[in-house]
């Protein structure tokens, strides 16, 4: 055959083939795609069958996808009549439903089922299940015209909408689930909105015959999600004009022997303008999506938040303005989430890697793409397209993920020029991510570096031949224009470009989230059980069978029994001789008594009665008088017997009167000292260095109620003051055993455990306190200080950050109340200075601020809170108009120091003050020096205390607390003249100091020493008005006595004696008053009590004895 004949035959053959192709329906084309997909799977199976079968390999699990119905299709297009749905997964079309008519209400029922196989070895692995959704495309089947029907041409389809189904529930233990996937319209023209809302939905079910993960895998595996939001403050060289650019970033997850890359591509360069909206949806990393809305991940949003709550960099107060401005400037936006499935070994590797080096490098770069031009490209242009430029790296601090219970970090991370030595030093990464990716697999074949434009499904589904031609053209185009240069020389040549990141201040905002925390946080129940193991619940003590009270009761009972028995004997002897309601002659009564005594002696009953009474008396001697040893002298024995006899006779008369009296006895008056009074008196004794008296009050308080945890805690704090650490630990543990939820006891148990170097126990106590009271600033701060002692800087920083959040919330709440009240009286705009500090939530009336959504714009938040955070710090540094009491504590460390000073925990005080000193920008504040002075005074370091107080006065000379503290220092140094000046200056302020009681007490004593009795009386009366005690009333009594106001002096001393009847000085001045009043008996009794209690004031004792000698009474020895 000649050449023309052969060409003619070829044309005829080609015409027949084209005619045949036009006669095929779209279903046959879909079947062709199915066969194509099946061929690829069969080819993969044949490759695997070339090797011996391994029974240990897990079998593929089929995943069935059923599209049930579609809703509201008429909202996408009003005249739609027939539709078909395509199901696509991982780049492969799984199948298409048959043509289905749309009902008038816009619904249609597909009931189409297809499936794919999930296998750990691929092609659809668990990593694909995690990060690749099922893509559903609804296409409208256009009606054929009459000529087309005659010619039997192929049906035409037009894409109507797309939906995605997230398969993540399959890796969360579910075998089946049903979703209503939003159906987003496909853009038909560029003028349409880029983010159309969903106008319909598809009812889809996904199921597997068995779970993809076993119970063990489900409990030990994890899921890592990385969301790259945007890059801000990008270099000026980034411009939309010129050649096409692809902005990319990549993070390698150290989850296996070969790290798993998470690639973010197709960043959108946006010029300066409005900020990104909040909330905004996160997007899939998909290429073949025609409906922009289908890029959004269902129920997954970027919500933002205050900058201070972030975990990365640029989260300080001074960074707020820069962050707010950067969000409105030129930026690159991704808003893309990538996921990574971590099997149990991978989760362990990730945790180990973060423990070894907490920084992971996130590389960024810009790549030029070829222009869609038909002309030839010059060699220079090709060279530019071949290079990656602006190669930078951000060091992501993954350390917070090692804190117990932390599953998410979000923040801003600065971008630096990529330098191998610096990356190796900081992240221990020995290669560039982009260069390594190209070496491991062909990126051009997978299309990972494309601009995201793929062949739309709006065209007819191509045949195999068309697919091969397009893939071949695409591979040729990409391989000739887009590839990564792995030469180090080119990287060095771009150093000047990469350095522009640092000049521009570029930073990435990203979020890293885990499904489960790498380090599980111990539950409250577990911590409570651990504490119960350390502090076992002690059984209640058995009721005491002995004791003073019990001994007296037994004596009374014995007297009653003996009286009844003796009365019975008397009635037996003289019952017939008793006159009826008449008096017995005394002589007759005496004879009857003698006869009764003889009868009891003869019968032996008198001896028996004495034995019974003797046992009760012995118990009184042992339990009440605590006499268990022999007396040294006969005089001591006789004196004791006399005292015992008087007491026994008194008790016998009391019992006999109750027995013979027809009236009920009067109840004993209740004690006048409450628990609060006893604690205050103990505190007063501690300040006066009378530790024996303080211990007495603490013991008395515990005797009143041994089940009060606060009493045990206060006694433990007193033991800390005496440096009796072990005894203090027992007290705190006793308080905790009585109330496991006592937050102060938990903290003090942790503090004491640190002092005793029991660090494991301390960690449990601090962790439990944070779980019990998550809103406690001292709990979080002390936890941070403890972790810092353990060199656990990650958890220390997390604890400090949580405490700062709580402090900021407290300051915001405190400031919102008065400002809201002020706004009701006058317009905020007329407030001159305060209106600028109002945040958006504070400006709302009533409680509407609490109803705001949780989505927070960080810029708006910072605008409202910027001055709130700065105001208290500025107030702490500026001199106060009245005193330092009105100033809020400016930091978490000062709030914690306030608690530590109260509980005498000196070790943690210095550690917290060291942090406070580092955080102060303008030098130490008055509050800092004052706290340091109190800590020095606890250790009796007077020189250090004086130095700190001098600095505090220089910083704020109008703070009454500083002058009060200086007065205490001078008083303890016996410099009463200087102390008097300091105390008088403290009283002259408009606002009182914290410890005004002790200011009045010590100033009054100075006045008494200097014979200024009138001033002393007034000062002591001021103390009695607010906080009366034995010492304040004693001071009033002494001043009145010296001014010869005997009646007022006696009244004051009586009040003092009622509050504390064991004060020898009170009895001494009562002795003087009775001597001056000529009351001999009372003066003698007061003098006996004075001597018995051991008066240590020798001058007062000499004065009493002189008065006794002068008056001739009051002393039994005279």
Query: CA quadruple 1058, 1060, 1064, 1065: dihedral positive or negative?
Result: negative
Residue 271: closest CA among 234, 304, 299, 322: 234
Cβ-count burial 240-253 (b if 16+ within 10 Å, e if not)? eeeeebbbbbbbbb
Return the pLDDT at 166.
93
Give the SS3 label for residue 395: strand
What is the pTM (predicted TM-score) of this model?
0.68
Cα 515 to Cα 335, 407, 519, 923: the distances in Å are 20, 7, 12, 44
* Cα 873 from Cα 920, distance rounded (Å): 9
Q: pLDDT for 970-999, tens place per residue? A: 999 999 999 999 999 999 998 999 989 999
* Cα 124 from Cα 112, distance rounded (Å): 21
* Cα 279 from Cα 295, distance rounded (Å): 16
The residue assigned the tokens 């991978």 is 346
Residue 262: closest CA among 285, 292, 232: 285
Return the pLDDT at 180.
92
Taking residue 462's Cβ as centre, other Cβ atoms within 10 Å add up to: 16
End-to-end CA distance of the chain: 163
Taking residue 1039's Cβ as centre, other Cβ atoms within 10 Å add up to: 26
What contacts 938, CB < 8 A, 6 or more positions away? Answer: 721, 901, 904, 906
Return the pLDDT at 425.
87
* Cα 544 from Cα 539, distance rounded (Å): 14
The residue assigned the tokens 């106590």 is 765
Return the pLDDT at 497.
56
Residue 89: closest CA among 30, 129, 46: 129
Contact 744, 713 (CB under 8 A): yes
Return the pLDDT at 338.
93
User: And the tokens for 116?
Assistant: 């794919």
* Cα 1020 from Cα 1052, distance rounded (Å): 11
Interstrand relation of 61-71 and 222-232 (parallel, antiparallel or unpaired): unpaired
DSSP of 934-973: HHHHHTT-HHHHHHHHHHHHHH-TT-HHHHHHHHHHHHHT
**Helix or strand run (H / E) with residue 491:** helix 488-493
Q: What is the mean pLDDT of each run of 10 residues along the chain (1118 residues)?
A: 37 40 38 42 39 55 93 84 92 91 90 91 86 92 62 72 93 92 80 59 93 89 93 86 81 79 89 87 87 88 87 86 90 93 89 88 84 52 60 90 90 90 84 64 42 33 39 37 39 53 91 92 85 75 66 88 86 69 72 85 85 87 83 87 89 84 49 82 92 92 90 95 93 92 94 94 93 93 94 90 88 72 47 33 32 40 39 35 42 92 91 88 86 91 93 91 94 93 92 92 94 94 92 95 93 92 92 91 90 90 91 80
Maximum CA pair distance of the chain?
175
User: And the tokens for 290?
Assistant: 């025609």
Return the pLDDT at 195.
47
Return the pLDDT at 961.
93
Q: What is the DSSP letter of 378?
A: P
Contact 784, 772 (CB under 8 A): no
**Helix or strand run (H / E) with residue 898:** helix 892-902
User: And the tokens for 134?
Assistant: 């099922």
- Burial (CB count within 10 angstroms: exposed 0-12, middle 13-18, buried 19+), residue 929: buried
* Cα 949 from Cα 930, distance rounded (Å): 6
What contacts 1080, CB < 8 A, 6 or more positions away? Answer: 1113, 1114
**Helix or strand run (H / E) with residue 977:** helix 976-988
Interstrand relation of 331-342 and 296-302 (parallel, antiparallel or unpaired): unpaired
Return the pLDDT at 198.
63
Interstrand relation of 260-270 and 331-342 (parallel, antiparallel or unpaired): antiparallel
Q: Tally the C-alpha atoms within 13 A of residue 1022's C-alpha that lie toward its C-beta.
A: 16
Q: What are 671-679's contacts with CB under 8 Å, separation 24+?
A: 671/704, 672/1058, 672/1059, 673/700, 673/1059, 675/701, 675/704, 675/705, 675/708, 675/711, 677/1059, 678/704, 679/711, 679/714
């Amino acid at each position: 055959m000649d050449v023309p004949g052969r060409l003619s035959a070829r044309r005829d053959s080609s015409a027949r083939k084209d005619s045949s192709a036009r006669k095929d329906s779209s279903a046959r084309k879909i079947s062709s795609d199915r066969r194509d997909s099946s061929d690829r799977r069969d080819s993969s199976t044949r490759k695997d069958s070339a090797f011996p079968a391994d029974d240990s390999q897990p079998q593929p699990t089929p995943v069935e996808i059923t599209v049930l119905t579609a809703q509201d299709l008429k909202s996408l297009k009003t005249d739609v009549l027939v539709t078909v749905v395509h199901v696509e997964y991982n780049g492969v079309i799984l199948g298409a439903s048959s043509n289905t008519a749309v009902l008038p209400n816009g619904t249609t029922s597909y009931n189409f089922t297809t499936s794919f196989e999930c296998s750990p070895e691929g092609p659809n692995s668990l990593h694909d299940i995690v990060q690749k959704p099922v893509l559903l495309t609804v296409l409208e089947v256009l009606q054929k015209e009459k000529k087309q029907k005659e010619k039997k041409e192929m049906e035409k389809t037009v894409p109507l909408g797309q939906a995605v189904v997230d398969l993540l529930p399959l890796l969360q233990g579910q075998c089946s689930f049903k979703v209503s996937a939003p159906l987003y319209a496909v853009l038909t023209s560029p003028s349409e909105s880029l983010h159309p809302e969903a106008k319909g939905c598809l009812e889809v079910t996904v199921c597997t015959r068995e779970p993809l993960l076993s119970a063990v895998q489900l409990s030990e595996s994890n899921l890592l999600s990385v969301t790259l939001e945007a890059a801000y403050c990008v270099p000026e060289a980034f411009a939309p004009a010129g050649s096409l650019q692809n902005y990319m970033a990549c993070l390698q997850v150290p989850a296996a022997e070969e790290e798993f890359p998470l690639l973010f591509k197709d960043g959108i360069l946006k010029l300066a303008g409005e900020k990104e909206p909040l909330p905004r949806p996160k997007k899939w990393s998909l290429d073949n999506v025609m409906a922009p809305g289908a890029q959004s991940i269902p129920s997954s949003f970027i919500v933002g938040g205050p900058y201070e709550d972030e975990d990365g960099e640029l989260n300080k107060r001074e960074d707020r303005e820069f962050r707010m401005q950067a969000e409105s400037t030129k930026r690159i936006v991704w808003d893309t989430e990538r996921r990574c499935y971590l099997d149990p070994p991978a989760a362990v590797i990730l945790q180990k890697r973060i423990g070894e080096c907490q920084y992971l490098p996130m590389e960024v770069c810009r790549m030029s793409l070829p222009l869609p031009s038909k002309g030839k490209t010059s060699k220079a242009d090709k060279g530019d397209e071949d290079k990656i430029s602006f190669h930078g790296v951000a060091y992501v601090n993954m350390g917070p993920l090692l804190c117990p219970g932390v599953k998410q970090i979000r923040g801003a991370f600065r971008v630096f020029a990529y330098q191998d030595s610096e990356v190796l030093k900081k992240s221990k990464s020995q290669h560039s991510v982009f260069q390594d990716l190209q070496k491991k697999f062909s990126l051009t074949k997978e299309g990972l570096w494309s601009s995201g434009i793929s062949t739309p499904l709006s065209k007819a589904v191509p045949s195999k031949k068309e697919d091969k031609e397009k893939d071949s053209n695409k591979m040729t185009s990409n391989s000739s224009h887009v590839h990564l240069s792995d030469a180090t020389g080119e990287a060095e040549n771009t150093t000047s470009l990469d350095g522009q990141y640092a000049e521009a201040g570029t930073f990435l905002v990203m979020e890293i989230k885990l499904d489960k925390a790498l380090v599980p946080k111990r539950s409250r129940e577990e911590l409570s059980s651990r504490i119960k193991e350390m502090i076992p619940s002690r059984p209640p003590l058995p009721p005491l069978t002995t004791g003073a009270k019990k001994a007296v009761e037994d004596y009374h009972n014995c007297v009653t029994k003996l009286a009844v028995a003796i009365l019975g004997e008397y009635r037996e002897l003289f019952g017939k001789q008793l006159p009826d309601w008449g008096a017995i002659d005394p002589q007759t009564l005496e004879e009857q008594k003698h006869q009764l005594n003889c009868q009891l002696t003869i019968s032996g009953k008198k001896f028996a009665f004495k034995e019974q009474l003797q046992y009760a008396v012995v118990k009184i001697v042992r339990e009440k008088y605590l006499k268990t040893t022999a007396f040294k002298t006969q005089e001591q024995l006789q004196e004791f017997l006399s005292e015992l006899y008087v007491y026994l006779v008194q008790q016998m008369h009391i019992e006999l009167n109750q027995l013979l009296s027809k009236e009920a006895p009067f109840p004993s008056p209740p004690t006048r000292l409450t628990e609060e009074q006893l604690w205050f008196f103990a505190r007063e004794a501690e300040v006066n260095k009378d530790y024996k008296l303080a211990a007495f009050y603490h013991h008395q308080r515990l005797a009143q109620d041994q089940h009060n945890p606060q009493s045990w805690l206060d006694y433990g704090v007193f033991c800390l003051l005496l440096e009796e650490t072990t005894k203090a630990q027992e007290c705190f543990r006793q308080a905790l055993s009585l109330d496991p939820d006592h937050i102060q006891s938990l903290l003090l148990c942790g503090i004491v455990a640190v002092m005793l170097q029991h660090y494991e126990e301390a960690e449990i106590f601090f962790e439990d306190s944070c779980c019990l009271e998550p809103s406690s600033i001292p709990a979080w701060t002390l936890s941070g200080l403890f972790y810092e002692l353990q060199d656990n800087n990650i958890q220390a920083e997390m604890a400090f950050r949580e405490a700062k959040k709580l402090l900021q919330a407290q300051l915001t709440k405190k400031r919102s109340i008065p400002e809201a009240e002020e706004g009701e009286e006058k317009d905020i705009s007329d407030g001159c200075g305060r209106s600028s500090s109002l945040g958006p939530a504070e400006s709302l009336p009533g409680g509407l601020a609490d109803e705001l959504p949780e989505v927070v714009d960080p810029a708006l938040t910072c605008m409202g809170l910027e001055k709130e955070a700065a105001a208290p710090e500025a107030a702490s540094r500026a001199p106060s108009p009245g005193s330092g009491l009105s100033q809020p504590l400016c930091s978490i460390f000062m709030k914690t120091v306030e608690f530590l000073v109260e509980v005498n925990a000196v070790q943690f005080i210095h550690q917290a003050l060291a942090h406070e000193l580092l955080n102060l920008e303008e030098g130490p504040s008055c509050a800092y020096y004052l706290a340091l002075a109190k800590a020095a005074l606890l250790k009796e370091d007077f020189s250090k205390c004086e130095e700190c107080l001098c600095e505090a006065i220089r910083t704020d000379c109008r703070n009454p607390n500083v002058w009060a503290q200086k007065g205490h220092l001078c008083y303890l140094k016996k410099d009463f003249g200087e102390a008097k000046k300091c105390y008088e200056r403290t009283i002259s302020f408009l606002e009182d100091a914290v410890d005004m009681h002790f200011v009045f007490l010590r100033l009054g004593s100075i006045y008494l020493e200097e014979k200024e009795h009138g001033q002393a009386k007034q000062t002591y009366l001021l103390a009695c008005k607010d906080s009366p005690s034995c010492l304040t009333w004693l001071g009033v009594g002494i001043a009145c006595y010296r001014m010869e106001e005997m009646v007022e002096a006696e009244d004051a001393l009586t009040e003092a004696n009622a509050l504390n009847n064991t004060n020898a000085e009170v009895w001494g001045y009562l002795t003087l008053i009775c001597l001056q009043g000529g009351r001999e008996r009372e003066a003698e009794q007061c003098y006996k009590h004075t001597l018995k209690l051991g008066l240590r004031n020798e001058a007062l004792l000499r004065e009493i004895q002189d008065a006794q000698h002068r008056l001739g009474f009051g002393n039994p020895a005279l």
